[in-house]
Structure 1
Amino acid sequence: MKNIITLFTCLLLVQLVSAQKKTQQPNIILIMVDDMGWSDIGPYGSEISTPNLDRLAAEGLRLQEFYNNSICAPTRASLLTGQFAHKAGIGYFNVNLGLPAYQGYLNRESLTLAEVLKEAGYSTLMSGKWHVGDDSLSWPNQRGFDQFFGFIGGASNYFDIAPYKEKAPPVQLVENNRAINLQPGKYLTDEIAGHAVQFLEEQNKSNKPFFLYVAYNAPHWPLQAQPADIDKYKGKYSIGWDSLRQQRIQRLQKIGLLAPNATIPKDPQVPAWESLTYDEKKYWEKKMEVYAAMIDRMDQGIGQILNKLKALKKDKNTLIVFISDNGAQGGFIPAGRKRPRSSGPIGSAGSYDYVEQSWANVSNAALRSYKASAYEGGISSPLIAWYPGKIKANSIAKGTAHLVDLAPTFYELAGAQYPQQYHQVAINPLPGTSLAKLFLAQQEINRASPLCWERAGNRAVRSGKWKLVSAYPANEWELYDIENDRGETKNLAQQQPQVVAELNAVYEKWAKQNDVIDYDKIKPTGNAGFAGPFNENTQNARRTNQR
């Protein structure tokens, strides 16, 4: 009898310790938006109404320098696995170019956040855009997510478009491996937020912490928004892109996200607002009104998630991280693909329009270039981290951080063990650095090696204040002092040949470690994914003045 009592007591203690561990593990919500520029939300200087993100920033931390991979699929590969995109199998896009680093879907050697956190006792939930593998063997439920609602590919309509197009295909979605369609009258941004809230409600029945990944496709084209949201911005953009950009830059400086003496790049292909006719101004105003409405609606969904957290009494033990997958889109990509034709007004279900380069220059205010580029405007993202009582309120830190740093951050805070093997497969080690001390104590990041990028021939290295960058097809290294010239206006390559040589050696070593291939040897033909990278000198990628 004594032995039975002892055994029962031991089992009870084990259960209590396990339950205590689970209550101490933070819930984690990761929110990523699509094709949104660095300054497109209130906490980063925007005039667009984002009260819920404003709250998260006021109660949390903002980073000055957080980096992505410049375009959708490679960014999501790094975000979900903590690997550089080539190492995860998506060095180019979600198309198979015939080599492991370019296979177009996540490989088994790179574990997802869901796979690792599930092993640590988490419920794993996802709502939104996947875009890291089209085949059903690579869908979210097959890569560790308990619950999934969203779409698999790279873009989607926000409304059922049948009213505008005869025999139009439905908006195809997936819910836990089951194909479904977006119902008439529904708006996809609302559905993504709504399913996230639903998953939280259902998960509350368990005794587990949760990881929720909310991957909005807003404000990615096509420009489609709810009429009530568009009406909120009617007339707001009559000021034009020149004045609006200057206002955002001034707010960024006042906030402390941009130095008072920051260098500001100029895009010579953006025409002066006052050079436009009255009709042209009205046309362009409408685009930005819809774009703002799409961001506004996304923020409303974040508000619903925050309200559900509070209702479930889980808001005090939840870390929220908000980022964007790349900078705003400039020239229409790919350059050689026929542009979709709108069958309805801008903002409606039949719209296939997007804001284009002149407004994207505002979205990336103070930064050079756009989506798909390795300049700051292509790879910079806002980052807001919120963790009540743990992260100092209304704080701003430099960074310099990257997507690959989020996985080790989450694993450290969750007490999750990152394995060397998983289902008899040797797992790639994590190259990133945990941001836990940066988030919780604002300690500087002690990075083991510089950050590097390659995507479709566009390359970069970031080491300390220095950034080495080259644009395809010129392939000539440029050197910038980012601490004093984040606008990348003063190329110092000629003055600092030793720095260029050192960082070039860093890049070559990184490229070899990550199986990067010279883009000219791997470049796809036709329209496989995006046929060509964004290039500042590619005239036919620019449609700034065309309707």
Structure 2
Amino acid sequence: MTGRNILFLAVWLQSVLHAQLRRPPHIVLIVADDLGWNDVGWHNSQMYTPNLNKLAQNGVILNSSYVQPVCTPTRSSLLTGYYPYHVGLQHNVLHSSRPGHLYKNFTLLSQKLKELEYVTHMVGKWHLGFCNWNYTPTYRGFDSFLGMYSGAEDYYTHVTGYSPHSGYDFRFNKSVYYEVKGEYSANVFARRAIDIINSVNPKKESLFLYVPFQSVHEPVQVPKKYEDIYSHIQNKTRRTYCGMVSALDEAIGNITDALTHRGYMDNLLLIFTSDNGGPVNHGANNWPLRGSKNTLWEGGTKGAAFVYSKTLLKKTKYVNTEMFHVVDWFPTLLSVAGGRSDPGLDGIDQWPTIQSGAPSKRSNFVYNIDEIMKNAAIRVGDYKLIEGKPGTHNGWYPAPNNHRKHFRNQTTFHDIGALEYQLFNIKSDPTEHFNLAKKLPDVLKKLQLYLQEFKKTLVPAFYPPGDPKSNPKYYNGTWSPGWC
């Protein structure tokens, strides 16, 4: 080989190595469904979540990370970077028989990452509409999809009764997937995620793996060995729910073990977040926060979350209290990947805050604006304004007493009356005990004006009635696209 050829080879090898060093990081985005604030080990030492604890405590715990009150709105915000009231999904969730969906004119995070040559895969719960194939994951930027279109399925039979009708709801890409009947969904999802991890070459491809688990949404079901971890809890609902959290933790541990074994960890960003607060009437606990899932209280909207990376974070092993909202994940992750967000997003690139603990670029956010429920909430600085009734569980709910047999005894509905506005200082009163509306009229007026400005850009809620054409009896007993 001539000297010139040797020089050429050396330059080529250097360019290849440089390209590998510049390769965008792998992104693994894990969402837990209906996980309570007090249902993780770093908030509650009685919860057995060793895998999540290790990741959280060696990464950055996000203690002011806000989500939406229920499933569908959070997922829309996560994947679009817009508040639900700007995409028409601010009201409730998309039930199986309703032809609602995430509008096609919104470009999803998966599609943006595909443009950056990421390999994109989804495993888990979609819940953003499926009445037409064009609204399903493999038509919205994902190379593959294994999971469910809707929510509240049985963890073993994968049949949902989230509608007047029930039907089987499990897919592998577009095909109905019966092979997992009888298997607990957390195990199915972890196995599929590991298969994807093993199929990608982490040195030559960048992976975006979105894993929105079904766990720990009701129905409250778990293999007995996980429930037995909490045998000291006499309350059956709470005991089973806690077991579900530990089963989820084990599944995530199996996924991270695979990531380590395959060599992803040297260039990986892993995000974990809940999609809303925990439902106190189904075994979850948000103590000491007020409220529950499906409320505008902190207990319904403040999500347990952390970020982990072995190499990409400049500051780790601490609790970050900077203001962050679920809409921020879209521009933040796109920035990490080397992309650029379109103008007009509600989300803000918060990578400096996450990477090094810099002050948040966010000074306000919208909890939600729901013109059907006639309620809304916003945060401006330290102050939170609630308009209308915040929800159905408005009290403070400690974890159920071990000597109580009936969980509902401690989750009684608390009616707050017909207050039009409530004002709280979340910095000094994070548990929302003291309504300051009468004491601080000037602050109240200021936030009311802010809220009116936000309302001017509201897109009407897209919440059509159920359609009889959706009935699974027309699709061999399955929930299927093709009826809108």
Fold conserved (TM > 0.5)?
Answer: yes
- The reply to whether residue 290 of structure 1 matches residue 212 of structure 2 is no
Match of 1:483 in 2: 427
Residues 38 and 364, structure 1, Cα contact 8 Å, conserved in 2: yes
Distance 1:183 1:95, change over 3 A: closer
Amino acid at match of 2:100: G
2-structure distance, mates of 1:300, 1:122: 27
> Shift of residue 458 of structure 1?
3.0
2-structure distance, mates of 1:527, 1:460: 31
Tell me, what secondary structure is at the counterpart of 1:381? coil
Tell me, what secondary structure is at the counterpart of 1:45? coil
Residues 197 and 258, structure 2, Cα contact 8 Å, conserved in 1: yes
- The reply to whether residue 196 of structure 1 matches residue 230 of structure 2 is no
> Shift of residue 94 of structure 1?
4.8
Superposed CA offset, 1:440-495 (max 9, x none): 11011122654342243331110111011134384611000111111111100011
Match of 1:498 in 2: 442
2-structure distance, mates of 1:80, 1:408: 10
Match of 2:357 in 1: 442
1-structure distance, mates of 2:421, 2:118: 44
Superposed CA offset, 1:306-365 (max 9, x none): 11111111112111111111111145xxxxxxxxxxxxxxxxxxxxxx33xxxx4xx100
Residues 83 and 110, structure 1, Cα contact 8 Å, conserved in 2: no
2-structure distance, mates of 1:83, 1:370: 23
> Shift of residue 66 of structure 1?
0.9
2-structure distance, mates of 1:383, 1:178: 33
Residues 40 and 46, structure 1, Cα contact 8 Å, conserved in 2: no
1:112 to 105, 108, 113: 108
Residues 90 and 106, structure 1, Cα contact 8 Å, conserved in 2: yes
2:321 to 381, 398, 401: 398
RMSD: 2.9
Amino acid at match of 2:259: L
Residues 81 and 111, structure 1, Cα contact 8 Å, conserved in 2: yes
Unaligned ranges ≥5, structure 2:
160-164, 391-417, 469-484
Match of 2:300 in 1: 378
Residues 296 and 386, structure 2, Cα contact 8 Å, conserved in 1: yes
- The reply to whether residue 130 of structure 1 matches residue 126 of structure 2 is yes
Match of 1:244 in 2: none
Match of 1:365 in 2: 287
Distance 1:157 1:182, change over 3 A: farther
Distance 1:525 1:179, change over 3 A: closer
Distance 1:179 1:22, change over 3 A: farther
Distance 1:233 1:182, change over 3 A: farther
1-structure distance, mates of 2:189, 2:308: 21
1-structure distance, mates of 2:280, 2:288: 15
- The reply to whether residue 237 of structure 1 matches residue 249 of structure 2 is no
Distance 1:197 1:22, change over 3 A: farther
> Shift of residue 203 of structure 1?
2.0
Distance 1:310 1:157, change over 3 A: same
Residues 150 and 169, structure 2, Cα contact 8 Å, conserved in 1: no
2-structure distance, mates of 1:87, 1:12: 49
2-structure distance, mates of 1:496, 1:309: 52
Distance 1:524 1:373, change over 3 A: farther
Residues 20 and 203, structure 2, Cα contact 8 Å, conserved in 1: no
Question: Percent identity, aligned pairs only?
Answer: 30
- The reply to whether residue 186 of structure 1 matches residue 183 of structure 2 is yes
Amino acid at match of 2:436: L
Tell me, what secondary structure is at the counterpart of 2:316? coil
> Shift of residue 172 of structure 1?
2.4
1-structure distance, mates of 2:431, 2:277: 14
Unaligned ranges ≥5, structure 1:
97-101, 163-167, 239-284, 332-353, 421-428, 529-547
Match of 1:45 in 2: 44
Match of 2:221 in 1: 224
> Shift of residue 237 of structure 1?
1.6
Distance 1:465 1:88, change over 3 A: same
1-structure distance, mates of 2:374, 2:467: 17
> Shift of residue 160 of structure 1?
2.2
TM-score (norm 1): 0.72
Residues 172 and 182, structure 1, Cα contact 8 Å, conserved in 2: no
Superposed CA offset, 1:14-45 (max 9, x none): 9749834652x111111111111111010122
- Please show how residues 93-112 of structure 1 align to structure 2 within 5 Å: 93-95=92-94, 104-112=100-108
- Please show how residues 243-392 of structure 1 align to structure 2 within 5 Å: 285-331=235-281, 354-355=282-283, 360=284, 363-391=285-313, 392=315
